[in-house]
Structure 1
Amino acid sequence: MDNSLIQSGDIWLLCAFLAGWAAISIYLEQNFKWASKVSGAIIALVGAMVLANLQIIPLESPVYDTVWNYVVPLAIPLLLFQANIRKIWNESGRLLLIFFLSAAGTVAGAIIGFFLLKEFVPGLDKVGAMMTGSYIGGGVNFAALSTKFEAPGELVSSAVVADNMMMALYFFVLMALPAIKFFTEKFKTPYMDERAQNGDDTNQTEAASYWRRKEISLQDIGMAIGTSFALVAVSFLIAGWMDELIPSGDDVNFIANLFNGILGDDYLMLTTLTMIAVTVFPKYFEGIRGSQELGTYLIYIFFVVIGVPASIALIFQNAPLLLVFVFIVVASNMIISFLLGRIFKFSLEEVIVASNANIGGPTTAAAMAIAKGWTRLVVPILLVGTLGYIVGNYIGTGIGVWFSGF
C-alpha cells in the first residue's frame, strides 16, 4: 500500500525530486562549510532516506528502476573516461597499493561475516557478492551485482538500508579521525600539515573551489554523452551474444560458468570495454571535457535513489543481521586498512581516502579529500577509486560464485 505524499506513479514529480535533490545537495556542498564537510553525496543519500521514512516519497517506483537500469550504465563510462591504466599506475601507484590493501580488508570481512551468519541470513551469498563489489568499487557495483545474481527485491532493499546506514556512519567516523590525537601521533600527516602551513584565506568551500567553472563546449557534451551511449549499447550487445554463446547452468563445468559470468555480464563487459577503449585511445578520451562532471551528477542522482528504499523499520523487522554483516565488512576494512597502512608507512590522509574509496566509491572519497582541503589527493583517488569500479565487479562476482556453493 502506497501511503506516501508523492505516489509511485507520479513520474514527473519523482523525476523532479531526484534531479532536484541531487542539484540541491551539490549546491549545499559548494556553498556551505558544514555541507562541504559532510559531502554532497551523504546529503543526497541521507535526505532521501529521511523523506522516505517520513512517507513524503514512495519506497518503490518505476522511476527508481529507470535510474538503476539506464542512468547507472551511462554514468559508468563517463566516470571511466579518465581510467587509463597506464596513467593510474604512473601517477597514483602508491595510493593504488593502499587501495588494494584496503580492498583485502573488504574481502576478509565478507568471508568472515558470511561464515558466521550464513545459517541465519537467507540469501547471504548474494548479499556477500553485492557488498564485496560495492565496498571495493561503489554503488554502481552494488546495482550491477544485484542484477547479475538476481537478488530478490526485498533482500536488495534490506541490504541497501543496512549499507546506507553503515556507510553514512563510517563516513562520519572517517571525517572525525584527523582530529583524534591517537591517529595523528601514529601516522604522518603531510597533507594536513601543508594545509595548516598555507592557511585558509578563502570564503569558498573546498568543493566549490575544486568543481569550479571550466571551459566546455557543446561538442564536449555531445561527444561525452554520445560515446557513453555507444559504449553501453555495444557492451550490452556483446554481453548478450556471449551469454547465449557460452553455456551455463548446473549441467556444465565450472570453467564454462566462469566465462559466461565474466563475458556474458553486461556491467563487466561495459567496464572492460571502456577501460580498453580509454587505454588504447587516451588522447580522444582526455580531450573530452566535462565527462567527470556529467558522470558525477548522474551518480549523485543514484545516491538519492539508493537512499530512498531505506526504510529503517524494514531492516529491523526483516533483516537486522544484515546490519551485523555489513558492520563486520566495514570494521574489517577499517582495521586492515589502518593496520597495513601503519606497517607500510602510509600517511593518515592516504589511508582515510583509500578506505573511503573502497566503502563509498571514488566520488565520496574525492568529496572527502576536497572537503578536508587535501587537494593533491583528489585526482589520484578519483583515478584509483575508478579502477575500483572495474575490479569490484570481478571480485564481487568471484565471491558470489564461491559463496553460492555453500
Structure 2
Amino acid sequence: MIYSLIQPDDSWILWAFLAGWAGISIYLEQKYEWASKVSGAIIALVGAMLLANLNIIPTDSPVYDTVWAYVVPLAIPLLLFQTNILKIWNESGRLLVIFLISSIGTVIGAIVGFFLLKDFIPDLYKVVGMMTGSYIGGSVNLAGLSARFETPGDLLSSTVVADNLMMALYFLILMVIPTLAFFRKRYHAPYQEMIEKSADKDEKNLAASYWKRKEISLKDIGLAVGSAFTLVAVSFKLAELFDSLIPSGENANFAYHALNGFLGDKYLMLTTVTLITVTLFSRFFENIKGAQEIGTYLIYIFFVVIGVPASLPVILQNAPLLFVLVFIMVALNMIISFIFGKLFKFNLEEIVLASNANIGGPTTAAAMAISKGWTKLVAPILIIGTLGYVIGNYIGAAIGYWFGLY
C-alpha cells in the first residue's frame, strides 16, 4: 500500500476534502470564465487526481465507498423531480441505438487489444472478458465477471488501477469535447445550444447564469431530502426482494437472468420507482424548490471521488501493458461512437453520454449530463446505462470464453 499524508481512516478529514473541494470547484466555475469553460466537474476530478498522485490523499478509503453507496443514490431522485416521463421514452429510444453502437466499439477494441497483447500478458482472456463487460455496462460488471473467470487477485487489482486511470482521463476528454469548435462544427448539439441561449446575454459566465440564486425554503429542503431518502429506501428494498426471489447466476436460464438484471438492479429500480412516483404526484414534486441544486452538489462530490483512484505510480510499476489494453478498448469505443454517430446524425450530447455510459456506467453518464446542464437526458441515460449491466455481462462472458480457446 502506498503511503499518503492523510490516512484512509481519517474519515472527517477526507469528508472535509470531498465536500470542500466540491464546493470550491462550483465556486471557481461560477466565479471565473476560464473555470466555467473548463467546468467545475473537471476541476473537481483533476484536483483529486493530483492530490492522490502526490500521495496527499489515499487512493482507497471507506469514505469513497460511502459516496458510491449513499451520496450517488440520493442524488438520482433529487435530479428526477422535474422529469416528464413521456419525453423520456422518446429520448431513450435514440440513446439506446447509439449506446449499442458504442458497445460494438468496445467489442472491436477487445478483439484488437487481445490479439496485439496476448503473447505479453498471462491470462489476458480473463482481463479482456472482464473489461468488455465493464466497458459496456460499467464497473459493476467487472466484479461479477472477475468471479466468473476466477481472475487472480494481483491481476485483478492491477486491472482495476489501469481502468480507474483510463476512466478518469476519458471522462476529462468527454467533458471537454462539447466545448471544442472541431466537434461543434461537425455535430449538432441542441442541448448545449439551449443552455447557451438561455443564459443572459450580458452574463459571460454560463455556469453562474444557469445556476442563479432561487427562492428556497426550509420546507423545500425537508421535502426534497426526505423524499429522496424514502425513494432510495423503497427502491433498494424492492430490488433486494426481487433479487432474492428471481434465480440468477450460472444455473439460471436467460429469461430469469435477464429479469433479475432488470428488477434486481438497485439503480434501475430507483430510476423506475422515482419516475412512476414523480409522474403520479407531479404537482407535489414540481413545487419542491432546490432539489436540482442539492442533487447537483452531491454529484460534484462524486466527481471528486472519480479522480482519486487514478494512481499513475501504481500503473507505471504494475500495469503499463494493461493500461495499453484499456486504452485501445476505450479509443475504439470512442472512434466507432463518433464515426457512426455522425453517419446516423446523432446529437453530440447523445454520442458523448452513450460512450460515457459504456465505459463508466449509468452513474458517471448521469453525473456528466447533470454537470453540463443537459437535465432532459439524465433519466434516459440512467435507464439505458443500467440496461448495459445485463448486456455487458453476457457479451463479456462470451468474449472471455472465446479468447480462452487461444
Which interval holds the TM-score relative to the shorter structure?
A: 0.7 to 0.9
CA distance in 1: counterparts of 2:238 and 2:196, whole angstroms? 52
CA distance in 1: counterparts of 2:245 and 2:312, whole angstroms? 43
- Does the alignment pair 1:287 with 2:287? yes
Structure 1 gaps, min length 5? 135-141, 369-377
CA distance in 2: counterparts of 1:57 and 1:276, whole angstroms? 41
**The one of 362, 368, 371 aligned to 1:364:** 368
Count of residues in Structure 1 that have an aligned counterpart in Structure 2: 371
Q: Quick one: structure 1 residues 172 and 29, their matched pair in 2 at CA, closer, same or farther if it must change by over 3 Å?
A: same
Query: Does the 8 A contact of 2:145 with 2:397 survive in 1?
Result: no
Q: Quick one: structure 1 residues 389 and 195, their matched pair in 2 at CA, closer, same or farther if it must change by over 3 Å?
A: closer
SS in 1 for 2:126: coil
Deviation at 1:85, TM superposition (A): 1.6
**The one of 162, 169, 175 aligned to 2:173:** 169
> What amino acid maps onto 1:69 in structure 2?
A
Length-normalised TM-score, structure 2: 0.81
SS in 2 for 1:361: helix
Please identify, of 30-39 and 270-279, the stretch whose mean Cα deviation from structure 2 is larger: 270-279
The equivalent residue for 1:137 is none
Deviation at 1:243, TM superposition (A): 1.8
CA distance in 1: counterparts of 2:24 and 2:263, whole angstroms? 39
The equivalent residue for 1:227 is 227
Q: Quick one: structure 1 residues 257 and 199, their matched pair in 2 at CA, closer, same or farther if it must change by over 3 Å?
A: closer
SS in 1 for 2:56: coil
> What amino acid maps onto 1:402 in structure 2?
I
Residues 118-163 of structure 1 deviation map (CA, whole Å, 9 limit, x = unaligned): 56363434433333245xxxxxxx5x55566677665444322111
Alignment of 1:37-76 (within 5 A): 37-76=37-76
CA distance in 2: counterparts of 1:199 and 1:239, whole angstroms? 40
Residues 229-265 of structure 1 deviation map (CA, whole Å, 9 limit, x = unaligned): 1111111212222222122232232222222222222
The equivalent residue for 1:210 is 210
> What amino acid maps onto 2:253 in structure 1?
N
Query: Does the 8 A contact of 1:166 with 1:327 survive in 2?
Result: no
Q: Quick one: structure 1 residues 259 and 29, their matched pair in 2 at CA, closer, same or farther if it must change by over 3 Å?
A: same
CA distance in 2: counterparts of 1:163 and 1:299, whole angstroms? 17
Q: Quick one: structure 1 residues 116 and 191, their matched pair in 2 at CA, closer, same or farther if it must change by over 3 Å?
A: closer
> What amino acid maps onto 1:364 in structure 2?
M
SS in 1 for 2:344: helix
Q: Quick one: structure 1 residues 189 and 357, their matched pair in 2 at CA, closer, same or farther if it must change by over 3 Å?
A: closer
Alignment of 1:4-403 (within 5 A): 4-88=4-88, 93=90, 99-117=95-113, 120=124, 122-133=126-137, 142=139, 145=141, 155-176=159-180, 178=181, 180=182, 184=185, 202-316=202-316, 317-318=318-319, 319-320=322-323, 321-341=325-345, 351-358=347-354, 359=356, 361-365=365-369, 367-368=371-372, 378=373, 381-403=374-396
SS in 2 for 1:122: helix
Structure 2 gaps, min length 5? 119-123, 148-155, 357-363, 402-406
Q: Quick one: structure 1 residues 256 and 361, their matched pair in 2 at CA, closer, same or farther if it must change by over 3 Å?
A: closer
Query: Does the 8 A contact of 1:39 with 1:364 survive in 2?
Result: no
> What amino acid maps onto 1:388 in structure 2?
I
CA distance in 2: counterparts of 1:244 and 1:98, whole angstroms? 33
Length-normalised TM-score, structure 1: 0.81
Q: Quick one: structure 1 residues 183 and 58, their matched pair in 2 at CA, closer, same or farther if it must change by over 3 Å?
A: closer
CA distance in 2: counterparts of 1:315 and 1:5, whole angstroms? 20
> What amino acid maps onto 1:3 in structure 2?
Y
Q: Quick one: structure 1 residues 328 and 52, their matched pair in 2 at CA, closer, same or farther if it must change by over 3 Å?
A: same
Q: Quick one: structure 1 residues 218 and 124, their matched pair in 2 at CA, closer, same or farther if it must change by over 3 Å?
A: farther
Query: Does the 8 A contact of 1:145 with 1:393 survive in 2?
Result: no
Q: Quick one: structure 1 residues 396 and 198, their matched pair in 2 at CA, closer, same or farther if it must change by over 3 Å?
A: closer
CA distance in 2: counterparts of 1:193 and 1:382, whole angstroms? 13
Deviation at 1:222, TM superposition (A): 1.1
